[in-house]
Amino acid sequence: MASPVGTLLSDRYRLDAQVGIGGMSTVYRAFDTVLERQVAIKLMHREIAGDSDQLERFRREARAVAQLNHPHIVGVIDAGEEGDPDHPTPYIVFEYVEGETLKQRIRRNTRLSIGESVAYAIEIARALGAAHERHIVHRDVKPQNVLIDEEGAAKVTDFGIARTLHQEGLTADGRVLGTTDYVSPEQALGRAVNGQTDLYSLGIVLFEMLTGDVPFQGENQIAVAMKHVREDLPDVQTRRPEVSAALAAVLDRATAKDLDHRYPDAKALIADLEDVLATETARTGHVTGEATTVLRSLPPSAQKRVPLRVRSSRKALLGGLLVVALAAAALLGYLSTRAERGTGTRENIAPAAKGLETVKLGQRAASDFDPIGGDGEHPTETSALLDGDPSTTWSTESYDNAQLSKDGVGVIIDASPGGGVAAQRMQVRTPTPGFEASIWVADSGSPRTAPPQGWTRVSSASVDVGAREQIDLDTAGNRYGRYLVWITKLAPGKESVEISEVLLYR
């Protein structure tokens, strides 16, 4: 029996408005007259409910999904059946999530920030992992099935329902079922699916969050599905160059067509995504949106790594400083295991200064900088910074307990000949990655006081410097004669910082 708006199901749930419809069911916003609260109700289509096998699968799956209790899964509140007892129409009552779908959020913003994209991928993966532990495979992971609540958190919905309502594979009775934009190769070929199928679809969702579009287009859904089977995923770094090699590596593995190369389970994917989120936060020096909440939820084992204070405006942080766990050393080990495109260490990343001109500097253009004075920071070694030989290095003095005993130290690059330079990027190469630094500029002379006196910062407040770090400089087209690499924190377990090369680009 059709249930129009205004119908009272089981003398309790009043259907107030239709909010969605699919091939197998319709979703309504409803009002629970007993507990006086809004709920969402998914009502199975009558013609589908007439199939006894489908009806029993729906009932069985509803019971299974009701056991899922996870902050990133839309909760099941109740289930029932409406109509003729001999031909009932089942329904499931869910918590009502006020907000928008992830698909709507992507469309509204064109694409999401890298930090927010990774954060949502983590939340979705955690939800999938919880379902997989109970042997429930979603089979229809897509941004339309992810709700973003008023607090900005992701909640996955339609768990298991797609599984119960259609046959294995891409088609049933000659009909294409649902969108194929996120379909895994094994689904498209009608093969058996497992949790890895959901991880592939999540990888496609992550690609869309980062780029604003799905990877494959075609004349029809069958053509799109076959591209998932036969074609490589487009290079995400080509579509969005600021995506790191580490994140590209995670995306490549999540969407591997060969199951042996794909992440074996959600736990493995989550671990790599958490490392990427922590590293992206360190690299940019700030974090916004839902990424702040996810950073707070990183496991204790990760929080013992490289700490970074991240200022947030979210109320949940009460205007304070969030100590974030970062894993520079662990990330380097992680990156070193990747051998395919987009999966190498920083040494294999295409130069970020492509299209820019290298600023020519003499070896004497570098000098050490210690605002306290004394013997300085190995002033006789500074020529190694500009000699073009990565085997020679300049180093700071050694500090006990891996702690600087001052606000910072660094090196100054003299670019004053010719009236200075409006540099757009700096590359810092180091055999001791993981230290924190920022880049400052001055018009002329050499201020001998610590920043900010006499200096202007042109980089992020804190850059987690990798082996071959590319740092964008906000000089606004102004020429500066002095560029200071200001080191404020040593890498974990290190007593000094070594730098082999510093390059400027304009």
The predicted model scores a pTM of 0.60
Task: Write down the pLDDT at residue 300.
Answer: 57
| Biggest alpha carbon–alpha carbon distance for the chain | 92
Predicted confidence (pLDDT) per residue in 379-396, tens digit = 888 888 988 877 788 988
pLDDT digits (tens, 9 = 90+) for 353-384: 557 888 888 767 888 888 876 667 888 888 88
Same domain, 450 and 476: yes
One-letter-per-residue 3-state SS of 82-137 = ECCCCCCEEEEEEECCCEEEHHHHHHHHCCCCHHHHHHHHHHHHHHHHHHHHCCCC
| Residue closest to 332 by CA, chosen among 235, 263, 432 | 432
Asked whether residue 349 is domain-assigned, the answer is: no
**CB 19 within 8 Å of CB 27:** yes
Concerning whether 140 is annotated as a catalytic residue, the answer is yes
pLDDT of 227 > 60? The answer is yes
Cα 224 → chain centroid:
25
Neighbouring residues of 315: CB distance < 8 A, sequence distance ≥ 6: none
Q: Which 8-state DSSP code applies to residue 35? A: T
Distance CA 227, CA 215 (A): 9
Average pLDDT of the chain is: 80
Which pLDDT value is given to residue 202? 98
Q: Is it the case that residue 286 has pLDDT exceeding 70?
A: no
Whether residues 193 and 56 share a domain: the answer is: no
Regarding whether 183 and 139 lie in a shared domain, the answer is yes
Domain hosting 381: range is 363-505
Q: Are 74 and 60 in contact (CB under 8 A)?
A: no
Residue 374 has a pLDDT of 62
Place of tokens 């992550």: 206
Average pLDDT value for residue range 424-435? 91
Q: What pLDDT was estimated at residue 486?
A: 93
Catalytic residue among 140, 158, 181, 272: 140
How is residue 196 written in tokens? Answer: 């890895």
Task: Please indicate, yes or no, if residue 307 is contained in any of the structural domains.
Answer: no
pLDDT at 23: 66
Residues 60-102 pLDDT 10s: 777 777 888 899 999 889 988 887 777 788 899 999 998 899 9
> What was the pLDDT predicted at 341?
31
Same domain, 76 and 115: no
Domain harbouring 492, CATH code: 2.60.120.260
Q: What is the CATH number of the domain that holds 176?
A: 1.10.510.10
Would the pLDDT of 487 be above 90? yes
Q: Is 68 helix (H, G, I), strand (E, B) or coil?
A: coil
Same domain, 15 and 122: no
In the chain, the percentage of residues whose pLDDT exceeds 90 is 41
Counting DSSP H helices and E strands in the chain, the numbers are 14, 24
How many domains does the chain divide into? 3
Structural domain contains residue 343? no
Residues 6+ apart with CB under 8 A from 142: 103, 179, 181, 182, 201, 205
Last residue within a domain, chosen from 56, 80, 95: 95
Q: What is the pLDDT of residues 41-50, one digit of tens each?
A: 988 887 777 7
